[in-house]
Amino acid sequence: MIVTDKRRWIEISAVLATGLLKYVLMDWLNFRAFYIAAACIFWSVYIYKRYKGNRHILQHWGFRKNHFKQSFFFLLPFALVMVAAIVWYGISYNVVFLNWHVIPVFLFYPAWGIIQQFLMVALIAGNLRSITTIKLSKIQIILLTSLVFAWVHYPSLPLMIFTFFMELVFLTAYFKWRNLWALGLYHGWVASLLLFFVLGRDLWNELWMVF
């Protein structure tokens, strides 16, 4: 099945719309659980629909076993450095906020991390690289996509800085091995610790605050 530039632009627009809705549902209305659940369901259904029409699309996007090990170990030093820096910051500045809630967040947040990385690296970066009407270098695509990911995390400056540099590394791994699983796992694990140790946020309570 041939993917047209029109479909690619529609996918990019849909991802940007998902980011804009974050400001309304999460930041303004504080419906974190609703937003995350709705985004996961919507994009999971979209992935399934595309798969039904093109059995090779999952492999193309990066939902595959191939090169998981290479991606995982390539990202491991970055993750270890980030975890060490996060823990050091939390202890040094007395921002540590840790309880049993970190366990379910640590277990389930990677699922949301996989969806986010799918949107960024497959639908934004991947489509920008494939669109024939524009010619962007790999470096330009990596920088632009990382800026978009940082913008989604506004107004938290620490999160914007962290996500920008994290996405630079993740996109480097994705363009080399095209495996989403490793990116999603590290995204979930590192982001969980960042929220608890640096930002002093209990994501578990935030998710269910609406109830």
Give the pTM.
Answer: 0.91
CB 138 within 8 A of CB 175: yes
What string of pLDDT tens digits covers the 211 residues of the chain?
A: 567 899 999 999 999 999 999 999 988 888 888 898 899 999 999 999 999 999 999 999 999 999 999 999 999 999 999 989 888 888 887 666 667 777 888 888 899 999 999 999 999 999 999 998 888 999 999 999 999 999 999 988 888 998 999 999 999 999 999 999 999 999 999 988 888 887 777 777 766 665 4
The residue ranges of DSSP E strands in 83-194, in sequence order, are none
Which among 156, 155, 153 is positioned nearest to 167, based on CA atoms? 153
Q: Per residue in 140-160, is it b (16+ CB within 10 Å) or e — as a string? A: ebbbebbebbbebbeeeeebb
Which DSSP symbol is given to 133? S
**Predicted pLDDT of residue 29:** 87
**Angstrom distance (rounded) from CA 55 to CA 57:** 6
**Predicted pLDDT of residue 207:** 65
CB 105 within 8 A of CB 204: yes
Which DSSP symbol is given to 201? -
Residue 140 is encoded by which pair of tokens? 């330009």
Which among 97, 44, 83, 72 is positioned nearest to 169, based on CA atoms? 72
